[in-house]
Amino acid sequence: MSGTWGNKIELSIFGESHGKAIGIVINGIKPGFEIDMDKIEKEMERRAPGRNKMSTQRKEGDKPKILSGIFEGKTTGAPISMIIENSDTRSKDYSKLKDLMRPGHADYAGNRRYGGFNDYRGGGHFSGRITAPLVFAGALAKQLLEEKGIKIGAHISSVGKVKDDSFNRINISESLLEHLLKKELPLIKDEKIEEVKKEIEKVRLKGNSIGGTIECAIIGVKAGIGSPFFDSLESKIASLAFSVPAVKGIEFGLGFEISEMTGAEANDEYYVENGEIKAYSNNNGGITGGISNGMPITYKVAIKPTPSISIEQRTVNISTMENEKLVIEGRHDPCIVQRAVVVIEAIAAIAILEAIES
């Protein structure tokens, strides 16, 4: 099992949903950086469960406990380790899931991969809960990037068929990103907020779930960050995005739509303004040749509907090798999208910091 990512900024995550604690070890953070813990905790709260009807009713404060690497409020340069203790676990909800494999979840694949020794309670190490340590690392990375004038923000770009506007890829202001941060449901178009809430409530009442997309923007990255081929900025971001449970797709800039264009339509033509090089359009999402080109970096991820639903489904019992019906109990998110927004921002921050340090 690889719980480790990165070269210059190395992350190692650990823990299970219903174990004692979850956490992270972060290597490569420079010494002497003054950390704003309040800001980190606010970021963790954005992901924490139990805040409203749109998320699981499991109530966890997600309070980070720093074990090492920070002394008198500043980084020491030694590995930073942090844990979050699990408190609100109800493992009995999961007893039948030892044998009955949830369709769409990692139960069956994980059981095969680890010979049945994996902790299945609450999804174990496959749980969305393990994204809390990622948010911690991302919140730290965001603070280090802000020092360099780099800002990151994201919004819900769709839930089911309800769509928000997209970012204006050539001009994304810091104030828009700040504004989105303050919203319970971060959508650019306020009129869509109620529609999204209704969409989630509709499926929740039926014991069903729904997916959507999140669009993320990284502004203030100068041209020239990243590398071609294997270390491209796209691959760094994508490798972290696909480490987030429930992410099933990613596209940069115009993404799949660019394939329907001609070169003349797709190319982002350059111009000079006050000695600065800019582009008239940003269909490539701020990255060309795997390297930042100075335009805002934008990408969208697709999040699938929460696999654990309480509607009856067909599955198998891996002990008896019989076909069975499954009705999932327990507390689950009817929609993952709104809780994943801060996770998608976090992985952007980690990837950019790693690219800058490389």
Ligand X SMILES: Cc1cc2nc3c(=O)[nH]c(=O)nc-3n(C[C@H](O)[C@H](O)[C@H](O)COP(=O)(O)O)c2cc1C
Strand 291-292 relative to strand 287-288, pairing: antiparallel
Please select the residue that binds ligand X; options are 25, 159, 244, 295, rule is CB under 6 A.
244
Identify which range of 6-14, 22-30, 261-269, 300-308 contacts ligand X by CB under 6 A: 300-308
Q: Which positions ≥6 away from 348 have C-beta within 8 Å?
A: 138, 152, 154, 216, 218, 237, 297, 299
Minimum Å distance from CB 109 to ligand X? 8
Please select the residue that binds ligand X; options are 336, 348, 353, 356, rule is CB under 6 A.
336
Minimum Å distance from CB 136 to ligand X? 14
Please select the residue that binds ligand X; options are 27, 86, 89, 131, rule is CB under 6 A.
131
Biggest distance spanned by C-alpha atoms of the chain: 72
Cβ-closest position to ligand X: 128
Minimum Å distance from CB 102 to ligand X? 7
Q: Does 306 bind ligand X (CB under 6 A)?
A: yes
What is the per-residue binding string for ligand X in 175-214, x denoting contact by CB under 6 A?
----------------------------------------
Distance CA 354, CA 224 (A): 14
Total Cβ atoms within 10 A of residue 107:
25
Q: Which residues from 253-282 bind ligand X, rule CB under 6 A? A: none
Distance CA 117, CA 105 (A): 17
Q: Does 307 bind ligand X (CB under 6 A)?
A: yes
Minimum Å distance from CB 346 to ligand X? 11
Question: Distance from first CA to last CA of the chain, Å, rounded?
Answer: 25
Identify which range of 93-101, 273-281, 286-294, 330-338 contacts ligand X by CB under 6 A: 330-338
Identify which range of 75-83, 165-173, 267-275, 299-307 contacts ligand X by CB under 6 A: 299-307
Distance CA 78, CA 303 (A): 35
Torsion, CA 58, CA 59, CA 61, CA 66, rounded to 10: -40
Do residues 285 and 253 touch, judged by C-beta distance below 8 A? yes
Q: Does 245 bind ligand X (CB under 6 A)?
A: yes
CA 249 to chain centroid, in Å, comes to 12
Binding site for ligand X (CB under 6 A): 56, 105-106, 123, 126-128, 131, 244-246, 304, 306-308, 332-333, 336, 339-340, 343
